[in-house]
Structure 1
Amino acid sequence: MALSAALALSAAACGGDDEGSGGDDGVVIGFMGDLTGENSGIVIPPKQGAQMAIDEYNATNPKTKITLKTYDSQGRGEQAVPLAKSAITKDKIVGLIGPAFSGESQQVAPVLEEGKIPSISPSATNTALGKNGWKYWHRIVGNDEIQGGGVGEFITRALKAKKVFVIHDNSEYGKPLGEKVEATAKTGGATTQVDAINPEGSDFAATVNKVKSFAPDAIFYGGYYAEGGKLLKQLREGGVKARFLSGDGSLDKGLAAGAGVENAKDSVIACPCLIDPQGTASPASKKFSEAYKAKFNADTAIYSAEGYDAATAFIEAIKAGNTTPEDINSFLSKVDVAGVSKQVKFLPTGEPAAADVYVYKVEGETLPLIGKASEATV
């Protein structure tokens, strides 16, 4: 992933990451997310998955080719909004894959609604996003109600934790995810305590002291791996040995890089996504994993399959002869096609029709799959 990420970062920084054939015989689809920021490790894989799907489609020499144009928001709403406006007015996009994160999604979606541009996020999981009544918004991944419930149940069932300390970053992603984990852990019989950190800060001593005083069996962090690694390092240096867990925002080897390999050992990361580099889940997953490895010289990673599936939904719409944003959006309401991560089908709210939660264990710089959160043991 390091090589492919470096190449992708370089291309994104230079603005040379667009491929395909737009113009009179083609359409432009955007991809928006953090491509050069500190959490880009969980955005580059879905971007690459989307690019692979579009490259495969264009290679068939279709009547309408697709250009994938990238927009590097660095995960910040204040950057994402003007980028979205430019994408609509200047680049004439007919659809957007992304935004990748929940906070920027919340700010960009109204712009897309006004412009009547359909979007499919491969990775934004905030539950409230699906409750706004947006007509052009979709996501391919399960929300935080599903994710938080899955990992919260895992904490009390598989880990048998009786005391759970929940920490979050106060973001539109991390806070509600942490709240759902806490509520589920309480339902499972655990005593809980909650604290928030400032992700822009670097000294989490106050939180570490609260955790030490509470003496939990398990700690859950709702946030992204860049801050999660720093937090975990300080917890371990402070003498806290409780099992550390987090959500999809931490499903990257950057967590261990920030915390230190030994500090991160045996941490458990949940995700409503399936990472299957060995291709054991299905024939489609095997074919995808092998093609991804050949194209990017890297194993499939977080949301690479979901990026591919989001692009597939748009491709199916265009293959059916839909080339305007509104026609594409109308098609998305009835798309029902086999994807790599799941059957690609949307509910009227834009939510995916199917979603599972999986758990992964940190082992050095690898994150092997343990299994479904509802069944897995450690």
Structure 2
Amino acid sequence: MKKTILSLTVLTALALGTASAQTTIKIATLSPLSGGQSDLGTQIRNGATLAVNEYKAQFKKLGFDLSLTPYDDQADPATGTAAARKIAADRQILAVVGTLNSGVAIPSSAALVASHVAMVSPANTNNLVTDRGLSNMNRIVARDDAQGPAGANFIISTLKGKKVYILNDKTAYGEGLAAEVEKTLKSKGVAVAANEGTEEKSDFSSIIAKIKLQKPDVIYFGGIYNQVGVFVKQLRESGVATPIVGGDGLDSTQIATIAGKGATNIFYTTVSAPPESLPAAKTLAALYQKTFNAPVQGFGVFGYDAAKVVLQGVLAAARANGNKAPSRIQVESAIRKGSFTGLLSGNVSFNSVGDRKSATIYVMSIMDQQYKLSTTVAVKPVKQ
């Protein structure tokens, strides 16, 4: 009798354990949580965390336990791809919010496509991210072929640049953005003194010497804040006050910290809205500050929005599946074909390759270490 009771107890425990596992739904984040770009990657994870916390009750009503699993890609393609394989192996993870870097998104999404793990990026702008036509890759931000021309047009119309020196960081992101800027500038008769790639992080003296010889009206740098901040600091210390323009890789308060007093006459396009430009983001900003003891930035807002797209997609797939846990394929399809509302950056729907049908580019300025919104540009993807 005791053996029978014990056996029943064990079987019951095992059954309960299995049921619990079946009702657990996870989403993952993939972004740099360590290293030089962790400021932005942490914002993405934190924004997604707040969205997950907000949606837990809705999932609970359907009988699901919702959780977030963050992965650190260190802004490195190989590390990100290895993390993607771990995500694919965890069958409870139905979708991913990420990545920050296009160079990480491209191989990571390729590693996940066979498992039908959907990705919704809050940051990736390189054209190739979606031009490959993968069924699982989506983004809620504008592409380089929109951001690059927006930056070039700002150089022409606002800064009145006639000669531009272009730098890039030799990544998929930096090279792609710089190429789009160069193409637009040349098409409008602006002289491009150089489009130089550099992986330098600490000593820009040789590049600064070339810039001084060329005497450009504007310098464009397709790169990330931790590298560009050092360049700006050394450029200003050398006596060069030329305006510097960049892309959304500069969208971090850390660039002003790194460049110090040199953080002036800097402009950047960004695909993530400054929180102060979105009235609906005030509540999120207060919650973010309370939860993480830090101010929310643009990628925190877009990490939140990308997570809401994922979560609404999972819920839609679950409801279409009779309120049962959906498959990855069902979630992948629900995200690509869905229409998502209640987001801070506006409603979201995707075209056939995963680009947002209507996006906004923001142009920011940094003057004497102070950030300010200069203008906004509404854009649509090339392919509808």
2:50 aligned partner: 52
Give the Å deviation of 1:175. Answer: 0.8
Superposed, 1:160-171 pairs within 5 Å as 160-171=160-171
Give the Å deviation of 1:294. Answer: 3.6
Separation in 1 of the partners of 2:90 and 2:282? 39
Query: In the alignment, is the contact (CA less than 8 A) between 1:151 and 1:373 conserved in 2?
Result: no
Counterpart of 1:298 in structure 2: which amino acid?
Answer: A
Superposed, 1:133-148 pairs within 5 Å as 133-148=133-148
Separation in 2 of the partners of 1:362 and 1:33? 26
2:278 aligned partner: 281
Counterpart of 1:303 in structure 2: which amino acid?
Answer: F
Counterpart of 2:263 in structure 1: which amino acid?
Answer: A
Give the Å deviation of 1:142. Answer: 0.8
Query: In the alignment, is the contact (CA less than 8 A) between 2:115 and 2:328 conserved in 1?
Result: no
Separation in 1 of the partners of 2:275 and 2:298? 9
Query: In the alignment, is the contact (CA less than 8 A) between 1:117 and 1:326 conserved in 2?
Result: yes
5+ residue gaps, structure 2, are 1-19, 319-325, 379-384
TM-score for both structures, normalised by structure 2: 0.86
Separation in 1 of the partners of 2:195 and 2:232? 14
Counterpart of 2:301 in structure 1: which amino acid?
Answer: A
2:329 aligned partner: 326
1:13 aligned partner: none
**What is the CA RMSD across the aligned residues, in angstroms?**
1.9
Provide Cα deviations, 1:153-185, integer angstroms capped at 9, x if missing partner: 011001111111111111100011011112222
User: SS state of the match for residue 268, structure 1?
Assistant: strand
2:32 aligned partner: 34
Superposed, 1:61-210 pairs within 5 Å as 61-63=60-62, 64-90=64-90, 92-210=92-210
Q: Percent identity?
A: 28
Q: Say if 2:374 is the partner of 1:370.
A: yes
Q: Which has the higher helix share?
A: 2
Give the Å deviation of 1:92. Answer: 3.8
Give the Å deviation of 1:138. Answer: 0.6
Among residues 328, 333, 338, which one is paired with 1:335 in the alignment?
338
5+ residue gaps, structure 1, are 1-21
Query: In the alignment, is the contact (CA less than 8 A) between 1:309 and 1:344 conserved in 2?
Result: no
TM-score for both structures, normalised by structure 1: 0.87
1:106–1:321 Cα change, 3 Å: closer
Moved more, 356-365 or 46-55: 356-365
Moved more, 286-295 or 310-319: 286-295
Query: In the alignment, is the contact (CA less than 8 A) between 1:253 and 1:366 conserved in 2?
Result: no
2:243 aligned partner: 243
Give the Å deviation of 1:236. Answer: 1.9
Separation in 1 of the partners of 2:278 and 2:26? 32
| Number of aligned positions between the proteins | 349
Give the Å deviation of 1:79. Answer: 0.9
1:125–1:33 Cα change, 3 Å: same
1:271 aligned partner: 270
Task: Please tell me whether Structure 1 or Structure 2 has the larger radius of gyration of its CA atoms.
Answer: 2
1:130–1:318 Cα change, 3 Å: closer
Separation in 2 of the partners of 1:109 and 1:306? 19
